[in-house]
Structure 1
Amino acid sequence: MSLHYLPFSSLNLAAWDNCVAAAQPELPYAYAWWLRIVAGRWDAVVELGPAGEYRSVLPLPYKRRPWGRELFQPAFTQQLGLLTTSTSQYKDVAEYLLLISSRYTKGYQQLNVDNSLFSTNSAYKTRQRVTYHLSLAPDFPTLLQAYDSSSQRRLRQNLARPVPLVVQEATTLEPFITLFKQTKGEAASLSARHYARLRRLVAAAQQRGQALLYEVRTPAPDAELLAAALFIRERNTLIYLFAAASPRGRQLSAPTLLLSHVIAQHAGTPNLILDFEGSVIPSIARFFANFGAQPVPYTTFTLTLRPWYLQWMR
């Protein structure tokens, strides 16, 4: 058993998916169908077993640039990094990275919460980000008690309305995308091709029974869309992947109602974790913490190797 750097053309995608399905942590982003949509192609460092099975994988999405190949973190993919199975003998992501540093001129990757990277290699600059996790094993009354007082108050205020707002399953993604473009489009820097990939991603996840799409609207006849959110279920993980809310929706606490509804629906599920996907924006991070979610760190790295024609410089 040993580690091998494999170009995309040499990857056995069936063996790849078998490994991802058996690996920790549980990452829907690492499956071949997901990576094909968001990245197109990727190389990898793979731990091969004696029968040719994959015992661990480190996916490496890349783009071709004039200066060489550049690692990148695909949109709608919060974490990748090293995924290992119970039979893996190589658990240190640094061992895998030893095989790649000379193959890429630069790049950026977000590892997962099970990976640690404390590199002394000057080519790698590491930083720490934070996601938020909430265990959904307790029953909903117990989870509700852990909400902050302002979130509890917003839920009570909604119930006191003559016609409370109601969270419902969405039947189509398009109003959601329109709302996102109107409220976050420029700041998110998403192009038409990103939205096309999102449509394909949701369609593929729906085919696999993994997509949950919810929305909050005003009462009929207006039925104005106030907030919407997309969740992806992967075994014991529920991921808050994509969300949007209008200014009026935020004013009416629609995002709080939506998230609380999803928490209530899945409360009491043993081992299930709601992953809020974190945020570098303090106000959003506080919003996640308001539901009793706890911060969980993960590492990012930037590869800063210079092109070959600058390597002589010291």
Structure 2
Amino acid sequence: MLRFLSFTHLDLARWDACVAASPGAPPYAHAWWLQATAGRWGAVVELGPGGEYRSLLPLPLKWRPQGWVGYQPLFAQQLGLMLTAASQHKNLANYLAVVEKKCTSFYQQLAPSVELPALPPGFVATERLTYHLGLGPDYAALHQGYAADYRRRLRKNQELPYPLQVTEGADVEAVIQLFLAYRGPVHTGLQPRHYAPLRRLAAAAQARGVAELHQVRHSASGELLAGALFVRHAGGLIYLFAAASAAGRAAGAPLLLVDAAVRRHAGQPGQVLDFEGGSLPAIGRFFANFGARPVPYPALNFTRKPWFTQWMRP
């Protein structure tokens, strides 16, 4: 049977067991990731006879005057339906029918591998893009797949008397502040308070030993030119957050950060570097120049019509 469970009724141990048993489940669905990005959330759950979670659809919720709103948390790119070998209810539409009863509106991004069924009335699917770089080949082969200009810029940096170097960072706060200095609310629509989930997520990832925070500083002044936070998971590496100053972009510091990550993780068959974005053409070109390929994934949207429109004449 399918049931909606509020956060207070969720068993997080059973939750993580279900996510772990779900082939291809996105890392964003793990309880620790959702605790950092959403805090509290609900779910549509398929319960087994012993109370185990056979399947689940995460449902982060916010209360608004019009009712409950299902939303996609910041810094959690994809959620969607988690199925296991024990799942009896495998049609996403059945879970969305429960969502429709709970929410006045709903938005959620799904994993790229999802094949959408016929959606219930009122649900609309749109396409978004991310970029993936397979990490199976060795570094030399991956480097050869870079755009010629990127290879040239990397070579030119190494020829400098004092080349820019990628080093480990200690605190994501410096990267956040760098981002806010050059990409503020006017550019992103996000206020400083919206980065609190990122701080929690970085701390949680560092506590689990899966965070990779790296930076590029000016060789002489020590000025922070660029920084990036990557998160490792079972399927590879996520390019979660990055920032660069104008001087850093001019010096190619973001290029160095990604190249260093590719060098660290090359030669791992089945692993993928997910760039977590690319719908904007300029960003997509940056990722594609590393040899990454565009990967579409669906986003679902639903808004219930106000009650008084149900009986109004067209």
Q: Shorter-chain TM-score category? A: over 0.9
Counterparts of 1:263 and 1:26, CA distance in 2: 23
| Matched-pair contact (CA < 8 Å) for 1:232–1:239 | yes
Counterparts of 2:245 and 2:166, CA distance in 1: 15
Which SS does the other structure have where 1:175 is aligned? Answer: helix
**Structure 2 partner of 1:75:** 74
Which SS does the other structure have where 1:98 is aligned? Answer: helix
Counterparts of 1:82 and 1:166, CA distance in 2: 41
Deviation at 1:120, TM superposition (A): 4.8
Deviations 1:104-154 (A, max 9, x none): 111211111122325453411210111111111110001111111111111
Counterparts of 1:243 and 1:86, CA distance in 2: 37
Counterparts of 1:290 and 1:198, CA distance in 2: 27
Counterparts of 1:302 and 1:151, CA distance in 2: 38
| Matched-pair contact (CA < 8 Å) for 1:26–1:237 | no
**Structure 2 partner of 1:216:** 216
Instruction: List structure 1 segments (4+ residues) > 6 angstroms apart after TM superposition.
Output: none
Deviations 1:204-240 (A, max 9, x none): 11111111101111113x1111111111111122100
Tell which deviates more after alignment, 117-126 or 3-12.
117-126
Aligned residues: 312
Which SS does the other structure have where 1:232 is aligned? Answer: strand
**Structure 2 partner of 1:312:** 311
Q: Would you say 1:197 and 2:216 are equivalent positions? A: no
**Counterpart residue type for residue 66 of structure 2:** W
> Which segments of 5 or more consecutive residues in structure 1 lack a partner in the other structure?
none
| Matched-pair contact (CA < 8 Å) for 1:129–1:300 | yes
Counterparts of 1:204 and 1:120, CA distance in 2: 35
Deviation at 1:170, TM superposition (A): 0.3
**Structure 2 partner of 1:28:** 27
Instruction: State the TM-score, normalized to the length of structure 1.
Output: 0.94
Which SS does the other structure have where 1:99 is aligned? Answer: helix
Q: Would you say 1:188 and 2:188 are equivalent positions? A: yes
Cα-Cα RMSD: 1.6
> Which segments of 5 or more consecutive residues in structure 2 lack a partner in the other structure?
none
Between the two proteins, what is the percent identity of the paired residues? 52
Which SS does the other structure have where 2:179 is aligned? Answer: helix
Counterparts of 1:157 and 1:78, CA distance in 2: 35
Which SS does the other structure have where 2:86 is aligned? Answer: coil
Deviations 1:235-260 (A, max 9, x none): 12210011111111111111111100
Deviation at 1:287, TM superposition (A): 0.8
**Structure 1 partner of 2:267:** 268
1:100–1:271 distance in 2 versus 1, CA, 3 Å: same
**Structure 1 partner of 2:294:** 295
Counterparts of 2:25 and 2:133, CA distance in 1: 15
**Counterpart residue type for residue 9 of structure 2:** S
Deviation at 1:291, TM superposition (A): 0.8
| Matched-pair contact (CA < 8 Å) for 1:130–1:295 | yes
Tell which deviates more after alignment, 294-303 or 107-116.
107-116
Deviation at 1:86, TM superposition (A): 3.1
Which SS does the other structure have where 1:115 is aligned? Answer: coil
Pairwise mapping of residues 228-243 of structure 1 onto structure 2 (< 5 A)? 228-243=227-242
Counterparts of 2:139 and 2:29, CA distance in 1: 31
Instruction: State the TM-score, normalized to the length of structure 2.
Output: 0.94
| Matched-pair contact (CA < 8 Å) for 2:70–2:106 | yes
**Structure 2 partner of 1:254:** 253
Deviations 1:44-95 (A, max 9, x none): 1112223222122110111101011111111111111112223323333222
**Structure 1 partner of 2:106:** 107
